[in-house]
Amino acid sequence: MYDLQNADTNGNTVLNITGNNFGLMSPLSSLNITIGSRPCLQVAMLSLELLQCVTPSGAGVNQAVNVIVASQISVNSLGYNYSAPIVSCE
């Protein structure tokens, strides 16, 4: 479960992910989070049920968020959405 939808396409937004079976608190080298095909930055395990990362830049809707722990990939049906373009004409 993610706590944020429609994030800025520039990325750099803190994303909290809740769930379970994230593994042990260490080593973090076996923990990765991706949005679409792009890796999140500054991945942190705040507890056994709470992860946090900084979103990469991107675009589109329903981007798969995958948590990868020791080569096991999460199964989820939720999509992450980047904000739609804003257009103005003068």
**Residue 86: per-residue pLDDT:** 85
pTM of the full structure: 0.82
Asked if 45 and 25 touch (Cβ cutoff 8 Å), the reply is yes
Contacting residues for 27 by C-beta, under 8 A, at least 6 apart: none
77 or 4, greater pLDDT: 77
Tell me how many degrees the CA angle 41-69-52 measures, rounded to the nearest 5: 35
**Residue 12: per-residue pLDDT:** 92
Q: What is the CATH number of domain 14-80?
A: 2.60.40.10
